[in-house]
Amino acid sequence: MSGKKTFLVVISVLIMAVCVCAQFRVGVVFATGGLGDRSFNDSGYEGVKRAEKELGIAFDYVEPQAVADFESHQRAFAQSNKYDLIICLGFDQADALKKVAKEYPKQKFVLIDSDVDAPNVAAILSKDHEKSFLVGAFAAMLTKDTKNFKQMNSAGKIGIVGGMPIPLIKAFAAGYTAGAKYIDPKIEVYEAYAGGWSDPAKAKEQALIMYSRGADIVFQAAGGSGLGVFKAAKQAKKYAIGVDSNQNYIEPDHILFSAVRRLDNVLYNQIADAMKGQWKPGIYKLGLKEKAVDYDLTKSNLKIPTAMVEKVEELRGKIIAGEIVVPDKLEDVDAFLKNVKR
């Protein structure tokens, strides 16, 4: 009798051990902004966390402090040979990953925001210009809505503060400008870059300058620096637009909505695909159609008029149907406006 019991215990321990070994393991190398940015990294973390809960994966993560650290962190994960999937967040991991992916050809990698072409890398780009187009369209309508929003003026000016003038962030500016001018060609868009991702004091000053020149709404695409834009909106009693994750709760009386990217969906899907053996390398551009980007009105105390939401939803439909192809470069905006059917 006791022999049988021991046998059962041994078997169950063995089964558990096998489960632990077979557990799907994911390694995450975050971008230098680190967790707590309430934006890019946090949104990715949410997706992996959801996969942990719903798919039962295990994961480890590192938060490199500098671009120079990426390579050693990626290699450490790959070398351990413990991880089924290694996820790298941020365009500036690309150079490191080109090297590391070649050294470990059997290791599967996911890279967010850059296009490394390798047989073991799924490189995922987000069509940030599409969500920026939608919030730009909103902004163009709202900035003239002096009836519902007491603090708006009729100058028809809006702004965007980016982190750095790199193509990735310029795509935000391009989509935003195109969306605003699609609604109203006379809208003027101020554009400035803080020169870094962790300088809220400077981004605040830049937004204040825009507000003092008549802008009502400033969109931020500046990571941690962008928190300064919200402070400026509060101080100037104006409006701001959040980015990447839903930031509306930070200043619910001043943030109209956020242009979110659903990095959580993207990472969750990547992990799920890899578990099912359906994971494929390649370069993917995901936008409104794939639900990789969106806007989020919840958690703000400001109510957006329904007619505007309907108009923007109509635009979403046109983008998904391919009737509107949003430009991702500022120099293409003029041509877009000339040729687009309204």
Partner 1 sequence: MLEQWLNSDAVFLTVALLASTLRMATPLGLAALGAVYSERAGVINLGLEGLMLGGAFFGILGSYLTGNAWLGVLLAALAGGIMALLFALVTLRYKANHVVAGVALNLLGLGFTTVLLVAVWGNRGKSPDVAGIYPIYIPYLSDLPIVGELIFRQSPFFYLLIILMILSWLFFYRTKWGLRLRAIGENPAAVDSLGIPVFTYKYLAVIAGGMLAALGGAYLSLGELSMFARNMVSGRGYIALAANILGNWNPIGVVLASFLFGLANAIEMNLQLYGWPTQFVQMIPYVVTMFVLGGFVRKVQAPKALGQHFDRSNTNM
The verdict on 34 binding partner 1 (CB under 8 A) reads yes
Strands 239-244 and 215-221: parallel
Which residue among 26, 28, 38, 221 contacts partner 1 (CB under 8 A)? 38
Distance CA 39, CA 250 (A): 12
Which residue among 59, 133, 176, 190 contacts partner 1 (CB under 8 A)? 190
Structure tokens at 297: 């009105």
Restricted to residues 194-233, the positions that interact with partner 1 (CB under 8 A) are 195-196, 198-202, 204-206, 208-210, 212-213, 224, 227-228, 231
- What CA–CA distances, in Å, run from 81 to 77, 119, 176? 7, 18, 43
Size of the site for partner 1 (CB under 8 A): 31
Distance CA 34, CA 49 (A): 16
Nearer to partner 1, 72 or 120 (CB): 72
Over the window 59 to 88, marking each residue x when it contacts partner 1 by CB under 8 A and - when it does not, the resulting string is ------x-----------------------
Q: How far is the CB of 30 from partner 1 (least distance, A)?
A: 10
Distance CA 231, CA 222 (A): 14
Over the window 159 to 188, marking each residue x when it contacts partner 1 by CB under 8 A and - when it does not, the resulting string is ------x-----------------------
Q: Is the dihedral of CA 143, 147, 148, 149 positive or negative?
A: positive
The candidate with the shortest Cα–Cα distance to 111, out of 132, 95, 130, is 95
Nearer to partner 1, 70 or 211 (CB): 211
Nearer to partner 1, 109 or 219 (CB): 219
Distance CA 193, CA 176 (A): 15
What is the four-CA torsion angle of 314, 319, 325, 330, rounded to 10 degrees?
A: 70
Q: How far is the CB of 95 from partner 1 (least distance, A)?
A: 20
Q: How far is the CB of 38 from partner 1 (least distance, A)?
A: 6
**What's 198's DSSP letter?**
S
CB 113 within 8 A of CB 125: yes
- Among 8-16, 124-132, 191-199, 263-271, which window interacts with partner 1 (CB under 8 A)? 191-199
Restricted to residues 246-265, the positions that interact with partner 1 (CB under 8 A) are none
Distance CA 61, CA 313 (A): 37
Chain positions contacting partner 1, by CB under 8 A = 34-38, 42, 65, 165, 190-193, 195-196, 198-202, 204-206, 208-210, 212-213, 224, 227-228, 231
